[in-house]
Amino acid sequence: MLAVTQIKYIKHEVNQKGDSYSDIGRRMRLDPYTVKKYANKGDFTEREKQERPSPVMDPVKPILDKWIKEDLKKKKKNHRTAKRMFHQLVKYHSFIGSYRTVRAYVSKKKKELKEYIEEASLPLESIPGTAQVDFGTAPFLYHSEVIDLPYLVMSFPYSNSFYFQVFPSENTECLLEGLQRIFHHMGGVPHTIRFDNLSPAVKKIGAKGERALTDTFERFVLHHGFHYEFCNPGKGNEKGHVEAMVKYVRNNFLLPECTVLDLDQFNETLWELAEVDRDRSHYEKQVLQSKLYIEEQERWLMLPEKSFECVRHQEVKADKYGFVSIDQKQYSTSPRFAKQVVRVRITYRFIVILNEQNEVIVKHHRLYGVKRKSMVWQPYLDLLSRRPRAIKYSSLYEQFPQIWTDYLNNCTEEEQKSALRLLGKLLKNNDFRLLNQALQSASVHGHPSADQIKHCFYSLLHDDHPYQTIKPTVEVPQVPVASRGLSHYDSLFQNGGEIK
Protein backbone atom coordinates (compact mmCIF):
# COMPACT_ATOMS: atom_id res chain seq x y z
CA MET A 1 0.00 0.00 0.00
CA LEU A 2 1.19 3.53 -0.85
CA ALA A 3 1.94 6.14 1.80
CA VAL A 4 -0.86 8.49 2.83
CA THR A 5 0.91 11.53 1.27
CA GLN A 6 1.23 9.70 -2.07
CA ILE A 7 -2.47 8.80 -2.12
CA LYS A 8 -3.42 12.40 -1.31
CA TYR A 9 -1.24 13.66 -4.14
CA ILE A 10 -2.80 11.22 -6.66
CA LYS A 11 -6.35 12.15 -5.65
CA HIS A 12 -5.58 15.88 -5.89
CA GLU A 13 -3.83 15.65 -9.27
CA VAL A 14 -6.51 13.44 -10.85
CA ASN A 15 -9.68 14.67 -9.26
CA GLN A 16 -8.88 18.35 -8.80
CA LYS A 17 -6.49 19.18 -11.63
CA GLY A 18 -7.62 16.56 -14.13
CA ASP A 19 -4.17 15.16 -14.98
CA SER A 20 -4.04 11.80 -16.73
CA TYR A 21 -3.10 8.56 -15.03
CA SER A 22 -0.10 8.17 -17.36
CA ASP A 23 1.33 11.64 -16.57
CA ILE A 24 1.02 11.11 -12.83
CA GLY A 25 2.48 7.60 -13.18
CA ARG A 26 5.56 8.97 -14.98
CA ARG A 27 6.07 11.67 -12.33
CA MET A 28 5.70 9.21 -9.44
CA ARG A 29 7.32 6.23 -11.22
CA LEU A 30 4.18 4.18 -10.77
CA ASP A 31 2.12 2.03 -13.08
CA PRO A 32 -0.91 3.96 -14.49
CA TYR A 33 -3.20 1.19 -13.25
CA THR A 34 -1.92 1.75 -9.69
CA VAL A 35 -2.59 5.48 -10.03
CA LYS A 36 -6.11 4.75 -11.27
CA LYS A 37 -6.74 2.33 -8.39
CA TYR A 38 -5.92 4.87 -5.66
CA ALA A 39 -7.52 7.84 -7.50
CA ASN A 40 -10.87 6.04 -7.53
CA LYS A 41 -10.63 4.19 -4.23
CA GLY A 42 -13.23 5.29 -1.73
CA ASP A 43 -12.99 2.74 1.16
CA PHE A 44 -9.80 2.82 3.22
CA THR A 45 -11.12 0.79 6.19
CA GLU A 46 -8.41 -1.60 7.49
CA ARG A 47 -9.70 -5.13 7.24
CA GLU A 48 -8.41 -8.34 8.81
CA LYS A 49 -6.59 -10.57 6.42
CA GLN A 50 -8.74 -13.54 5.52
CA GLU A 51 -6.91 -16.80 5.03
CA ARG A 52 -8.46 -18.94 2.39
CA PRO A 53 -9.02 -22.59 3.24
CA SER A 54 -6.42 -24.93 1.77
CA PRO A 55 -7.74 -28.49 1.35
CA VAL A 56 -4.22 -29.77 0.60
CA MET A 57 -2.18 -27.99 3.33
CA ASP A 58 -4.70 -27.70 6.17
CA PRO A 59 -4.68 -31.45 7.07
CA VAL A 60 -0.85 -31.54 7.34
CA LYS A 61 -0.29 -28.21 9.16
CA PRO A 62 -0.69 -29.78 12.66
CA ILE A 63 1.84 -32.45 11.65
CA LEU A 64 4.35 -29.84 10.46
CA ASP A 65 3.78 -27.76 13.61
CA LYS A 66 4.53 -30.80 15.77
CA TRP A 67 7.74 -31.58 13.86
CA ILE A 68 8.93 -27.98 14.04
CA LYS A 69 8.34 -27.81 17.82
CA GLU A 70 10.14 -31.14 18.32
CA ASP A 71 13.13 -29.89 16.33
CA LEU A 72 13.36 -26.68 18.35
CA LYS A 73 14.21 -28.85 21.39
CA LYS A 74 17.22 -30.32 19.58
CA LYS A 75 20.55 -29.03 18.37
CA LYS A 76 20.30 -27.15 15.09
CA LYS A 77 22.31 -29.78 13.21
CA ASN A 78 19.60 -32.32 14.10
CA HIS A 79 16.69 -30.23 12.75
CA ARG A 80 14.74 -31.65 9.81
CA THR A 81 14.90 -29.60 6.63
CA ALA A 82 11.72 -28.52 4.84
CA LYS A 83 12.67 -30.94 2.06
CA ARG A 84 12.92 -33.83 4.52
CA MET A 85 9.52 -32.91 5.99
CA PHE A 86 8.04 -32.82 2.49
CA HIS A 87 9.33 -36.33 1.71
CA GLN A 88 7.97 -37.65 5.03
CA LEU A 89 4.55 -36.14 4.31
CA VAL A 90 4.48 -37.78 0.89
CA LYS A 91 5.66 -41.16 2.20
CA TYR A 92 3.68 -41.46 5.44
CA HIS A 93 0.71 -39.08 5.03
CA SER A 94 -0.18 -39.34 1.31
CA PHE A 95 0.54 -35.64 0.76
CA ILE A 96 -0.19 -34.46 -2.82
CA GLY A 97 0.94 -30.83 -2.50
CA SER A 98 4.16 -29.24 -3.74
CA TYR A 99 7.52 -28.93 -1.99
CA ARG A 100 7.45 -25.14 -2.48
CA THR A 101 4.22 -24.85 -0.46
CA VAL A 102 5.67 -26.91 2.38
CA ARG A 103 8.90 -24.88 2.38
CA ALA A 104 6.97 -21.58 2.56
CA TYR A 105 4.82 -22.80 5.47
CA VAL A 106 7.79 -24.18 7.45
CA SER A 107 9.72 -20.93 7.00
CA LYS A 108 6.76 -18.83 8.15
CA LYS A 109 6.02 -21.06 11.17
CA LYS A 110 9.65 -21.10 12.36
CA LYS A 111 9.74 -17.30 12.19
CA GLU A 112 6.53 -17.04 14.25
CA LEU A 113 7.84 -19.43 16.92
CA LYS A 114 11.17 -17.64 17.09
CA GLU A 115 9.45 -14.29 17.64
CA TYR A 116 7.31 -15.83 20.38
CA ILE A 117 10.31 -17.35 22.18
CA GLU A 118 12.27 -14.10 22.01
CA GLU A 119 9.34 -12.00 23.28
CA ALA A 120 10.87 -10.09 26.19
CA SER A 121 7.84 -8.17 27.43
CA LEU A 122 6.07 -11.21 28.90
CA PRO A 123 6.67 -11.92 32.61
CA LEU A 124 8.44 -15.22 33.26
CA GLU A 125 5.42 -16.52 35.21
CA SER A 126 3.30 -16.57 32.05
CA ILE A 127 5.69 -18.57 29.87
CA PRO A 128 5.53 -22.40 30.03
CA GLY A 129 8.83 -24.26 30.10
CA THR A 130 10.68 -21.73 32.31
CA ALA A 131 12.04 -22.26 35.82
CA GLN A 132 13.49 -20.50 38.85
CA VAL A 133 16.15 -21.90 41.21
CA ASP A 134 17.21 -21.16 44.80
CA PHE A 135 18.47 -22.79 48.00
CA GLY A 136 16.66 -22.97 51.33
CA THR A 137 17.67 -24.49 54.69
CA ALA A 138 15.81 -26.74 57.12
CA PRO A 139 16.68 -28.80 60.23
CA PHE A 140 17.34 -32.54 59.82
CA LEU A 141 18.18 -35.34 62.25
CA TYR A 142 21.30 -36.47 60.42
CA HIS A 143 23.85 -38.91 61.89
CA SER A 144 22.04 -38.71 65.26
CA GLU A 145 22.42 -34.94 65.39
CA VAL A 146 19.99 -32.13 64.53
CA ILE A 147 21.69 -29.88 61.97
CA ASP A 148 20.60 -27.42 59.28
CA LEU A 149 21.05 -28.69 55.73
CA PRO A 150 20.43 -26.79 52.46
CA TYR A 151 17.89 -27.98 49.92
CA LEU A 152 17.78 -26.96 46.25
CA VAL A 153 14.38 -26.00 44.81
CA MET A 154 13.53 -25.69 41.11
CA SER A 155 10.09 -24.13 40.65
CA PHE A 156 7.98 -23.81 37.51
CA PRO A 157 5.98 -20.55 37.72
CA TYR A 158 3.57 -21.34 34.87
CA SER A 159 2.22 -24.51 36.51
CA ASN A 160 3.08 -23.53 40.12
CA SER A 161 4.93 -26.84 40.59
CA PHE A 162 8.43 -27.77 41.78
CA TYR A 163 11.12 -30.36 42.53
CA PHE A 164 13.66 -30.30 45.38
CA GLN A 165 16.72 -32.19 46.63
CA VAL A 166 18.67 -31.98 49.92
CA PHE A 167 22.47 -31.53 49.99
CA PRO A 168 25.23 -31.15 52.59
CA SER A 169 26.34 -27.77 51.20
CA GLU A 170 25.51 -24.96 48.75
CA ASN A 171 28.78 -25.30 46.82
CA THR A 172 29.14 -25.45 43.02
CA GLU A 173 29.22 -29.25 42.88
CA CYS A 174 26.00 -29.59 44.92
CA LEU A 175 24.22 -26.96 42.80
CA LEU A 176 25.10 -28.64 39.50
CA GLU A 177 24.46 -32.15 40.83
CA GLY A 178 21.01 -31.03 41.98
CA LEU A 179 20.13 -29.33 38.68
CA GLN A 180 21.22 -32.34 36.64
CA ARG A 181 19.32 -34.78 38.87
CA ILE A 182 16.15 -32.74 38.37
CA PHE A 183 16.71 -32.50 34.59
CA HIS A 184 17.14 -36.27 34.30
CA HIS A 185 14.10 -37.00 36.45
CA MET A 186 12.01 -34.53 34.40
CA GLY A 187 13.31 -35.93 31.12
CA GLY A 188 14.04 -32.45 29.76
CA VAL A 189 15.60 -29.03 30.41
CA PRO A 190 13.69 -25.75 30.95
CA HIS A 191 14.52 -23.38 28.09
CA THR A 192 15.03 -20.45 30.53
CA ILE A 193 16.14 -20.61 34.19
CA ARG A 194 16.34 -17.62 36.53
CA PHE A 195 18.83 -17.62 39.43
CA ASP A 196 19.78 -15.39 42.28
CA ASN A 197 23.43 -14.30 42.17
CA LEU A 198 24.58 -17.58 43.74
CA SER A 199 28.33 -17.69 44.41
CA PRO A 200 28.56 -21.23 42.91
CA ALA A 201 27.41 -19.69 39.60
CA VAL A 202 28.57 -16.05 39.64
CA LYS A 203 32.16 -15.03 40.40
CA LYS A 204 31.68 -11.29 39.97
CA ILE A 205 29.01 -8.74 39.03
CA GLY A 206 30.30 -5.97 36.77
CA ALA A 207 29.45 -2.26 36.90
CA LYS A 208 26.80 -2.61 34.16
CA GLY A 209 25.34 -5.82 35.52
CA GLU A 210 27.50 -8.20 33.48
CA ARG A 211 28.18 -11.50 35.26
CA ALA A 212 31.48 -13.34 35.29
CA LEU A 213 30.41 -16.97 35.68
CA THR A 214 32.35 -19.72 37.39
CA ASP A 215 34.05 -21.98 34.86
CA THR A 216 32.15 -25.13 35.88
CA PHE A 217 28.75 -23.42 35.80
CA GLU A 218 29.46 -21.89 32.38
CA ARG A 219 30.37 -25.31 30.95
CA PHE A 220 27.21 -26.77 32.55
CA VAL A 221 25.04 -24.15 30.78
CA LEU A 222 26.73 -24.78 27.43
CA HIS A 223 26.30 -28.54 27.86
CA HIS A 224 22.54 -28.33 28.50
CA GLY A 225 21.79 -25.38 26.20
CA PHE A 226 19.37 -23.44 28.44
CA HIS A 227 19.20 -19.64 28.67
CA TYR A 228 20.04 -18.23 32.12
CA GLU A 229 18.84 -15.05 33.81
CA PHE A 230 20.12 -13.49 37.04
CA CYS A 231 18.23 -11.19 39.38
CA ASN A 232 19.52 -7.69 39.95
CA PRO A 233 21.54 -7.41 43.21
CA GLY A 234 19.19 -7.08 46.18
CA LYS A 235 16.12 -7.81 44.03
CA GLY A 236 15.06 -11.22 45.28
CA ASN A 237 11.47 -10.39 44.34
CA GLU A 238 12.50 -10.94 40.70
CA LYS A 239 12.44 -14.66 41.51
CA GLY A 240 9.52 -14.39 43.87
CA HIS A 241 7.97 -17.68 42.78
CA VAL A 242 10.86 -19.85 43.88
CA GLU A 243 11.27 -17.90 47.11
CA ALA A 244 7.64 -18.62 47.95
CA MET A 245 8.14 -22.26 46.93
CA VAL A 246 11.23 -22.61 49.19
CA LYS A 247 9.01 -21.62 52.12
CA TYR A 248 6.19 -23.90 50.93
CA VAL A 249 8.53 -26.92 50.70
CA ARG A 250 9.93 -26.32 54.18
CA ASN A 251 6.53 -25.90 55.84
CA ASN A 252 4.81 -28.79 54.07
CA PHE A 253 7.51 -31.45 53.73
CA LEU A 254 10.53 -30.76 55.98
CA LEU A 255 9.04 -29.73 59.35
CA PRO A 256 9.38 -31.09 61.96
CA GLU A 257 12.90 -32.26 61.20
CA CYS A 258 13.14 -35.40 59.04
CA THR A 259 15.39 -38.29 60.08
CA VAL A 260 18.04 -38.95 57.43
CA LEU A 261 20.25 -42.06 57.50
CA ASP A 262 21.44 -41.93 53.89
CA LEU A 263 21.07 -38.63 52.01
CA ASP A 264 20.87 -40.18 48.53
CA GLN A 265 18.15 -42.63 49.59
CA PHE A 266 16.24 -39.83 51.29
CA ASN A 267 16.37 -37.71 48.11
CA GLU A 268 14.85 -40.55 46.09
CA THR A 269 11.69 -40.27 48.20
CA LEU A 270 11.24 -36.56 47.38
CA TRP A 271 10.26 -36.94 43.71
CA GLU A 272 6.89 -38.47 44.51
CA LEU A 273 6.11 -35.82 47.15
CA ALA A 274 6.49 -33.08 44.55
CA GLU A 275 4.47 -34.95 41.91
CA VAL A 276 1.55 -35.78 44.22
CA ASP A 277 1.41 -32.11 45.23
CA ARG A 278 0.46 -31.16 41.62
CA ASP A 279 -2.95 -32.79 41.95
CA ARG A 280 -4.57 -29.54 43.07
CA SER A 281 -6.05 -26.55 41.31
CA HIS A 282 -3.84 -23.61 40.24
CA TYR A 283 -4.44 -20.63 42.54
CA GLU A 284 -5.35 -18.32 39.59
CA LYS A 285 -6.03 -20.40 36.49
CA GLN A 286 -8.47 -22.82 38.17
CA VAL A 287 -6.89 -25.71 36.27
CA LEU A 288 -5.13 -28.74 37.77
CA GLN A 289 -1.43 -28.00 38.13
CA SER A 290 -0.68 -31.45 36.73
CA LYS A 291 -2.31 -30.43 33.42
CA LEU A 292 -0.37 -27.16 33.30
CA TYR A 293 2.81 -29.14 33.99
CA ILE A 294 2.15 -31.19 30.84
CA GLU A 295 2.11 -27.91 28.89
CA GLU A 296 5.49 -27.12 30.46
CA GLN A 297 6.89 -30.41 29.19
CA GLU A 298 6.04 -29.53 25.60
CA ARG A 299 8.35 -26.50 25.79
CA TRP A 300 11.39 -28.15 27.39
CA LEU A 301 14.67 -28.71 25.61
CA MET A 302 15.83 -32.27 25.06
CA LEU A 303 18.40 -33.76 27.42
CA PRO A 304 21.96 -33.95 26.04
CA GLU A 305 23.12 -37.37 24.85
CA LYS A 306 25.73 -37.55 27.62
CA SER A 307 25.50 -36.54 31.27
CA PHE A 308 27.58 -33.60 32.45
CA GLU A 309 30.35 -34.57 34.85
CA CYS A 310 29.82 -32.28 37.85
CA VAL A 311 33.52 -32.16 38.71
CA ARG A 312 36.00 -29.44 39.61
CA HIS A 313 39.74 -30.04 39.12
CA GLN A 314 42.39 -28.32 41.19
CA GLU A 315 46.16 -28.60 41.57
CA VAL A 316 47.36 -28.41 45.20
CA LYS A 317 50.72 -28.72 46.93
CA ALA A 318 50.83 -31.27 49.75
CA ASP A 319 52.44 -30.41 53.10
CA LYS A 320 55.39 -32.28 54.63
CA TYR A 321 53.09 -35.08 55.82
CA GLY A 322 51.36 -35.46 52.44
CA PHE A 323 48.12 -33.65 53.34
CA VAL A 324 46.34 -31.27 50.94
CA SER A 325 43.84 -28.56 51.87
CA ILE A 326 40.55 -28.32 49.90
CA ASP A 327 37.95 -25.76 51.00
CA GLN A 328 39.67 -25.51 54.40
CA LYS A 329 39.50 -29.28 54.96
CA GLN A 330 42.58 -31.55 55.00
CA TYR A 331 42.88 -34.81 53.06
CA SER A 332 45.74 -37.31 53.15
CA THR A 333 47.59 -38.39 50.01
CA SER A 334 50.68 -40.56 50.49
CA PRO A 335 54.06 -39.96 52.18
CA ARG A 336 55.82 -40.06 48.81
CA PHE A 337 53.83 -37.00 47.64
CA ALA A 338 54.88 -34.83 50.60
CA LYS A 339 55.65 -31.26 49.43
CA GLN A 340 54.66 -32.17 45.87
CA VAL A 341 51.88 -30.84 43.65
CA VAL A 342 49.01 -33.29 43.10
CA ARG A 343 45.86 -33.08 41.00
CA VAL A 344 42.56 -33.19 42.88
CA ARG A 345 39.22 -34.26 41.42
CA ILE A 346 36.36 -32.70 43.42
CA THR A 347 32.72 -33.84 43.33
CA TYR A 348 29.95 -33.18 45.84
CA ARG A 349 30.61 -36.62 47.41
CA PHE A 350 34.29 -37.42 46.89
CA ILE A 351 37.77 -35.94 46.91
CA VAL A 352 40.01 -38.03 44.64
CA ILE A 353 43.78 -37.47 44.68
CA LEU A 354 45.52 -38.19 41.35
CA ASN A 355 49.14 -38.37 40.24
CA GLU A 356 50.63 -36.85 37.06
CA GLN A 357 49.31 -39.78 35.01
CA ASN A 358 45.78 -39.18 36.42
CA GLU A 359 45.99 -42.45 38.35
CA VAL A 360 44.13 -42.57 41.66
CA ILE A 361 46.40 -42.23 44.69
CA VAL A 362 43.61 -42.22 47.26
CA LYS A 363 39.86 -41.50 47.43
CA HIS A 364 38.12 -39.68 50.32
CA HIS A 365 34.50 -39.01 51.18
CA ARG A 366 34.19 -35.23 51.03
CA LEU A 367 34.05 -33.60 54.47
CA TYR A 368 31.21 -31.32 55.51
CA GLY A 369 30.44 -29.79 58.89
CA VAL A 370 32.87 -29.57 61.81
CA LYS A 371 35.17 -32.46 60.88
CA ARG A 372 38.30 -30.99 59.33
CA LYS A 373 40.62 -33.89 58.48
CA SER A 374 40.24 -37.13 56.51
CA MET A 375 42.95 -39.78 56.82
CA VAL A 376 43.29 -42.86 54.60
CA TRP A 377 45.92 -45.05 56.23
CA GLN A 378 46.93 -47.58 53.59
CA PRO A 379 49.48 -45.40 51.72
CA TYR A 380 51.20 -44.59 55.04
CA LEU A 381 51.30 -48.02 56.67
CA ASP A 382 53.86 -49.47 54.24
CA LEU A 383 56.31 -46.64 55.01
CA LEU A 384 55.71 -46.91 58.75
CA SER A 385 56.25 -50.69 58.74
CA ARG A 386 59.75 -50.06 57.35
CA ARG A 387 60.49 -47.07 59.59
CA PRO A 388 58.55 -47.65 62.83
CA ARG A 389 60.60 -45.24 64.92
CA ALA A 390 59.46 -42.36 62.69
CA ILE A 391 55.87 -42.77 63.84
CA LYS A 392 56.56 -41.36 67.32
CA TYR A 393 58.05 -38.19 65.97
CA SER A 394 55.32 -37.26 63.49
CA SER A 395 51.73 -36.07 63.77
CA LEU A 396 50.69 -39.41 62.24
CA TYR A 397 51.20 -41.01 65.65
CA GLU A 398 48.21 -39.01 66.91
CA GLN A 399 45.95 -40.18 64.05
CA PHE A 400 45.77 -43.79 65.31
CA PRO A 401 42.96 -44.80 67.69
CA GLN A 402 44.19 -44.45 71.29
CA ILE A 403 44.22 -48.24 71.88
CA TRP A 404 46.65 -48.67 68.96
CA THR A 405 48.76 -45.68 69.98
CA ASP A 406 49.21 -47.25 73.47
CA TYR A 407 49.93 -50.68 71.99
CA LEU A 408 52.54 -49.45 69.49
CA ASN A 409 54.20 -47.36 72.21
CA ASN A 410 54.80 -50.57 74.18
CA CYS A 411 56.15 -52.59 71.24
CA THR A 412 59.74 -53.36 70.37
CA GLU A 413 60.90 -52.22 66.94
CA GLU A 414 60.32 -55.65 65.40
CA GLU A 415 56.90 -55.94 67.03
CA GLN A 416 55.97 -52.52 65.64
CA LYS A 417 56.97 -53.63 62.12
CA SER A 418 54.82 -56.76 62.42
CA ALA A 419 51.85 -54.84 63.85
CA LEU A 420 52.00 -52.15 61.14
CA ARG A 421 52.23 -54.79 58.40
CA LEU A 422 49.18 -56.48 59.94
CA LEU A 423 47.26 -53.18 59.94
CA GLY A 424 48.15 -52.63 56.29
CA LYS A 425 46.75 -56.05 55.44
CA LEU A 426 43.57 -56.02 57.56
CA LEU A 427 42.48 -52.36 57.58
CA LYS A 428 39.58 -51.91 55.13
CA ASN A 429 37.77 -48.68 54.29
CA ASN A 430 39.72 -46.96 57.05
CA ASP A 431 37.50 -48.69 59.63
CA PHE A 432 39.38 -49.57 62.84
CA ARG A 433 36.36 -50.88 64.76
CA LEU A 434 36.93 -54.62 64.31
CA LEU A 435 40.69 -54.21 64.68
CA ASN A 436 40.15 -52.30 67.93
CA GLN A 437 37.99 -55.17 69.25
CA ALA A 438 40.61 -57.72 68.17
CA LEU A 439 43.42 -55.81 69.95
CA GLN A 440 41.32 -55.40 73.08
CA SER A 441 40.43 -59.11 73.13
CA ALA A 442 44.02 -60.20 72.50
CA SER A 443 45.30 -57.87 75.29
CA VAL A 444 43.21 -59.44 78.06
CA HIS A 445 46.15 -61.51 79.34
CA GLY A 446 49.02 -59.21 78.50
CA HIS A 447 50.84 -57.63 75.60
CA PRO A 448 49.83 -59.64 72.46
CA SER A 449 51.82 -60.43 69.35
CA ALA A 450 50.69 -59.55 65.83
CA ASP A 451 49.73 -63.21 65.25
CA GLN A 452 47.51 -63.21 68.36
CA ILE A 453 45.77 -60.01 67.19
CA LYS A 454 45.30 -61.56 63.74
CA HIS A 455 43.76 -64.71 65.28
CA CYS A 456 41.31 -62.62 67.33
CA PHE A 457 40.45 -60.50 64.28
CA TYR A 458 39.44 -63.49 62.14
CA SER A 459 37.60 -65.10 65.08
CA LEU A 460 35.50 -61.93 65.46
CA LEU A 461 35.07 -61.65 61.70
CA HIS A 462 33.59 -65.16 61.52
CA ASP A 463 31.71 -64.95 64.86
CA ASP A 464 33.94 -67.59 66.48
CA HIS A 465 35.08 -67.39 70.08
CA PRO A 466 37.93 -64.89 70.27
CA TYR A 467 41.39 -66.00 71.16
CA GLN A 468 41.83 -66.71 74.87
CA THR A 469 44.96 -67.80 76.70
CA ILE A 470 44.73 -70.96 78.82
CA LYS A 471 44.75 -70.20 82.52
CA PRO A 472 47.32 -72.29 84.44
CA THR A 473 45.95 -74.80 86.99
CA VAL A 474 48.94 -74.38 89.35
CA GLU A 475 50.12 -71.26 91.09
CA VAL A 476 52.86 -69.49 89.12
CA PRO A 477 55.42 -67.31 90.89
CA GLN A 478 55.01 -63.58 90.24
CA VAL A 479 57.37 -62.34 87.54
CA PRO A 480 58.94 -58.88 87.90
CA VAL A 481 57.43 -56.26 85.60
CA ALA A 482 59.54 -55.93 82.45
CA SER A 483 59.99 -52.70 80.56
CA ARG A 484 58.63 -53.11 77.00
CA GLY A 485 58.80 -51.08 73.89
CA LEU A 486 61.27 -48.39 72.95
CA SER A 487 60.89 -46.25 76.07
CA HIS A 488 64.37 -47.31 77.35
CA TYR A 489 65.85 -45.58 74.30
CA ASP A 490 64.20 -42.38 75.47
CA SER A 491 65.70 -42.90 78.93
CA LEU A 492 69.11 -43.34 77.34
CA PHE A 493 68.96 -39.94 75.69
CA GLN A 494 67.31 -38.22 78.66
CA ASN A 495 70.02 -39.39 81.11
CA GLY A 496 73.07 -38.51 79.14
CA GLY A 497 73.72 -41.96 77.75
CA GLU A 498 73.34 -43.95 81.04
CA ILE A 499 70.60 -46.56 81.23
CA LYS A 500 69.10 -46.84 84.69
Query: What is the identity of the amino acid at 476?
Result: V
Q: What is the structure's pLDDT at 46?
A: 47
- Give the pTM: 0.65
CA–CA separation, 193 and 201 (whole Å): 13
Beta bridge partners of residue 326, listed in sequence order = 329
Interior CA angle at 293 toward 197 and 71, to 5°? 85
- How many H-runs (helices) and E-runs (strands) does the chain carry? 18, 15
CA 428 centroid distance within chain: 30
CA 327 centroid distance within chain: 18
Question: Residues 95, 96, 101, 102: what is their CA dihedral angle, to the nearest 10 degrees?
Answer: 20
Closest to 131 in 3D by CA, of 193, 183, 71: 193
CA–CA separation, 60 and 157 (whole Å): 33
Helix (H, G, I), strand (E, B) or coil at 431: strand
Q: What is the structure's pLDDT at 314?
A: 93
CA–CA separation, 21 and 394 (whole Å): 108
CA–CA separation, 326 and 343 (whole Å): 11
- Cα distances (angstroms) measured from residue 425 to each of 155, 179, 371, 378, 415: 51, 41, 27, 9, 15
Contact 307, 183 (CB under 8 A): no
CA–CA separation, 380 and 80 (whole Å): 60
Q: What is the structure's pLDDT at 120?
A: 44
Query: What is the identity of the amino acid at 24?
Result: I
117: left (phi over 0), alpha (psi -120 to 50) or beta: alpha
CA–CA separation, 36 and 42 (whole Å): 12
- DSSP class of residue 365? E
Closest to 414 in 3D by CA, of 452, 447, 380, 388: 388
Burial class (CB in 10 A: 0-12, 13-18, 19+), 422: buried
Q: What is the structure's pLDDT at 122?
A: 44
R_g of the chain, CA atoms, integer Å: 38
* Per-residue pLDDT tens digits of the chain, which is 500 residues long: 677 778 878 887 887 788 889 988 898 888 888 888 888 876 554 454 556 788 889 999 999 988 888 887 777 778 889 999 999 999 999 999 999 999 999 998 888 877 665 544 445 557 899 999 999 999 999 988 999 999 999 999 999 999 999 999 999 999 999 999 999 999 999 999 999 888 899 988 877 778 889 999 999 999 999 999 998 765 555 688 999 999 999 999 999 999 999 999 999 999 999 999 999 999 888 999 999 999 999 999 999 999 999 999 999 999 988 999 999 999 999 888 989 999 999 999 999 999 888 899 999 999 998 889 998 888 888 777 777 666 655 556 667 889 998 898 888 888 888 998 898 888 877 788 999 999 999 999 899 999 999 999 999 988 765 545 445 555 656 656 555 555 555 555 555 555 44
Q: What is the structure's pLDDT at 499?
A: 45
Q: What is the structure's pLDDT at 105?
A: 92
CA–CA separation, 380 and 332 (whole Å): 9
Q: What is the structure's pLDDT at 392?
A: 59
